[in-house]
Amino acid sequence: MTISKGDKLPDVKLVKPTSDGPEAVQSSDFFAGRKVALFAVPGAFTPTCSAKHLPGYVDKADELKAKGVDEIACTSVNDAFVLGAWNKADGGDEITMLADGSAEFAKALGLTADMSGYGMGTRSNRYSMIVEDGVVTEINVENPGEFKVSSAEHMLGQL
């Protein structure tokens, strides 16, 4: 079952890269009591993700926060070290990376993509969502190979 608008996020462990190393966080704790703009990418350092998706959220961070977003987070089926390096290379302090190394979060959301044909195994679909106190208030899942509805610009129109 795929998560839908109005659903509560599943409670799974994610890993946040920090200057002190990886930090485990429960999704229920991370999303509790605030509005989070979450976007997911199939993989760090991949072409669309690095050229458009992450930079769009970095560029629009102030506008998203001006519309009531408390935090902007990115998740991917990568480890915390890779996401930390990607954020240093292409992102910034405006984005909190949440590593979903074993795809537990993506699976619990029903938003996995089989990218075995590209040597990438099980990954997350490309999507964005607005989460308020752990509940999905908007969700935008891309069709395979597209980048439209999960952009920061599209999300700004929903806020």
| The CATH number of domain 13-158, selected from 3.40.30.10, 3.60.150.10, 3.40.630.30, 3.40.50.2000 | 3.40.30.10
In the residue annotation, 74 being an active-site residue is answered as no
Instruction: Report pLDDT digits (tens) over 37-69.
Output: 999 998 888 877 777 889 999 999 999 999 999
Dihedral sign for Cα atoms in the order 154, 152, 136, 142: positive
pLDDT reported for residue 58: 96
The CA distance from 85 to 17, in Å, is 9
Active-site residue, selected from the candidate residues 41, 44, 49, 69: 49
121: pLDDT strictly greater than 70: no
pLDDT reported for residue 33: 98
Query: Radius of gyration of the chain from Cα atoms?
Result: 14
Against a cut of 0.85, is the pTM above it? yes
Instruction: Report pLDDT digits (tens) over 95-108.
Output: 999 999 999 999 99
Calculate mean pLDDT across residues 113-134.
85
Write out the two tokens for 111: 């938003």
pLDDT reported for residue 50: 76
H/E segment holding residue 128: strand 127-132
